[in-house]
A = this chain, B = another copy of it.
Amino acid sequence: MANQIPEVVVQRLPLYARTLARFLEEGVEVISSQELGVRLQVTPAQIRKDLSYFGKFGKQGRGYNVAHLQGVLRGILGLERTWSLAVVGVGHLGQAIIAYGGFAPEGFQVVAAFDTDPARVGQHIGSVVAQDSSELSQVLREQKIDIGIIAVPASAAQAVADTMIAGGVHAILSYAPVTLRVPEGVKVRTIDPVLVLQSMTFYLKSPEAALLSSGRRRGRRL
């Protein structure tokens, strides 16, 4: 089943799951795709189409059962368990990632950190101690790390990715501004604020474009 689902759909599901959790907190038990769409700022048609990949949810005119749909989406996404993270690079960015309070409540635990700089190795950052990057591959295997996070400069990123993959990691979140080459079966996501800013200056340059297009695609999430 999973292989037939467009990746862009998979990328939207986490936001659906989170938004349903917010509605649950607010005591909402049933919700229409219209109401969900307003909160998510996407069209109800897109929500219905995205969900249709995973089965039939809700009845025409009755809306979705919030708790049920949220549970199903969490199951589909594998959010019922904890995932371990290793951060490579503990400069400003790596430290901010390790200190970020948003991971743990969602089941993502930073369990190891690495750097090549001897001045940083041994440093306590949150609940981890920075280890030498030469130990990366071995530690990843021993601790069965699920996801690698790259917070090193662009020039070092590909080598770190290669070592992560050699260490058995199948998912990488990279903050380095470079397109990584990875073998089949390994997932990479890149968070690159410069590219994000550059996709907004297009609209700042010609404000009428922003005004005309904003009704269609406001508040896109990356």
Contact = CB atoms under 8 A, between A and B. Distances in A.
A203 interface: yes
Contact of A220 (B39, B189, B200, B220): B189
A77 interface: yes
Contacts of A219: 179-182, 188, 190
Contact of A212 (B3, B96, B173): B3
A44 interface: no
A30 to B, nearest CB: 20
A124 B3 CA distance: 50
A101 to B, nearest CB: 8
A92 B83 contact: no
A202 B99 contact: no
A78 interface: yes
B179 A77 contact: no
B192 A221 contact: yes
A179 B13 contact: no
Given A77-B202, A95-B92, A195 B102 contact: no
Contacts of A146: 201, 204
Interface stretch (A14-22, A64-72, A112-120, A134-142): A14-22
A210 interface: yes
Given A7-B217, A205-B78, A219-B180, A211 B191 contact: no
Among A200, A203, A209, chain B packs the most CB atoms within 10 A around the CB of A200
B173 A187 contact: no
17 contacts: A2-B213, A3-B213, A7-B220, A13-B198, A15-B195, A78-B205, A83-B204, A96-B96, A147-B197, A170-B207, A171-B204, A180-B219, A185-B207, A189-B196, A189-B221, A190-B222, A191-B193
